[in-house]
Amino acid sequence: MKGRQIVLDHLDGREAAALMVDGRLQDLLVDGGDQPRPGTIYRAQADRPMKGQGGMFVTTPAGKAFLRQVKGLSPGQTILVQVTGHAEPGKAVPVTTKLLFKSRYAIVTPGAAGLNISRSIRDDDLRDRLLMLAHEAMGGSDMGLILRSACAVAGPEEIAEDIRAMHDLAATVMADAEGAPETLADGDSPHLLAWRDWAEPADVVTEPGSFEALGVRDQIESLTSPQVPLPGGAAMFIEPTRALVAVDVNTGNETGHAAGLRVNIAAARDLPRQLRLRGLGGQLALDLAPMPKKDRKTFETALRAAFRTDQVETALVGWTPLGHYELQRKRDRIPLKDLLE
């Protein structure tokens, strides 16, 4: 099917949302079950700093969490923290004291003043109108505000309502900073995240069983294999280990002087999608198909372009002495294989 579809259904009993573009799975959100959802805000209590680890454990209603920003904090102090990602096996949930109240059109930032507009909105007249709307809706608040790219196609009443809702939530949470550890705001579910972050026009399908009927389930099942087919019979293999995610790129039937570069570029273009769908992050090592060193710049350009529109924070670290390419990616999702077990 041509066009964009947002399919809201369940996967093995878990709430899930799939983004399809021209019949191809582009993104997948699956509820993590027992783990707290990213975006959840706790009133927590600071424990002792962990020397050598650059942070401290904090006590939340859901158990221990790990906080890296410890300057000025003392044991026993009550603080507000927000979950930033999912915990690795055997580790504490990562949290931050830099709270964000995020919705479809607006992000309210209590700790960072100023009114900002997404750089993807380039029309000067529209930016001026949005800035005036932001000033009015924030009502002189000392909190910060970021207007997201979805504002470009939204009506002023929708945007203003969204700003006020996020500001009121932020004000309520910030005023409730004293007391025992408590959950003050829950992170968004997959269906709410789909509404919040997949803002481009799309057909929304909500009928139960839509994953089966529209072939979403079949595409999800294919992600359980490490092999990803590439054009011309080439392939890349994505295999997570305890230490890192290894990506091996093979030319297969591709031949010729520039075969390595062509296959590596094809792998680079599909890599962000594959990592999103598989829920993989942390350290990544790319073992690329052989290509001359003079072609590395061309490959890096393709890799940067591929990750530029990806929402998951990813650092392109660079080449190793052995010729591998390394990346560091935020762990903001649970690996898909863990959810399907």
Please give the chain's pLDDT, 341 residues, in tens. 689 999 999 999 999 999 999 999 999 999 987 889 999 999 999 998 887 677 899 999 999 999 987 788 889 999 999 999 888 777 899 999 999 999 999 999 998 999 999 999 999 999 999 999 999 999 989 999 999 999 999 999 999 999 999 999 999 999 999 999 999 999 999 999 999 999 999 999 999 999 999 999 999 999 999 999 999 899 999 999 989 999 999 998 777 778 999 999 999 999 999 999 999 999 999 999 999 999 999 999 999 999 998 989 999 999 999 999 999 999 889 999 988 87
Backbone angles phi, psi at 4, to 5 degrees: -100, 140
pTM (2 d.p.): 0.90
- Regarding whether 78 and 24 lie in a shared domain, the answer is no
- Regarding whether 246 and 148 lie in a shared domain, the answer is no
Looking at 98, 117, 142, the residue that finishes a domain is 98
How many Å from the N-terminal Cα to the C-terminal Cα in the chain?
A: 30
- Please say whether the beta carbons of 97 and 78 come within 8 A: no
Residue 204 falls inside a structural domain: yes
Distance from the Cα of residue 204 to its chain's centroid: 21
Residue 193 falls inside a structural domain: no
Q: Which domain holds residue 91?
A: 41-98
Residues in contact with 161: Cβ distance below 8 Å, sequence separation at least 6, in sequence order: none
**The two structure tokens encoding residue 126:** 């529209």
**CATH number, domain containing residue 258:** 3.40.630
Residue 36 falls inside a structural domain: no
Domain count, the chain: 4
**CATH number, domain containing residue 70:** 2.40.50.140
- Regarding whether 329 and 231 lie in a shared domain, the answer is yes
- Please say whether the beta carbons of 170 and 112 come within 8 A: no
Cite the DSSP H helix spans in the chain: 124-138, 156-174, 190-197, 210-213, 216-222, 259-278, 296-308, 336-340
- Regarding whether 148 and 73 lie in a shared domain, the answer is no
Residue 51 falls inside a structural domain: yes
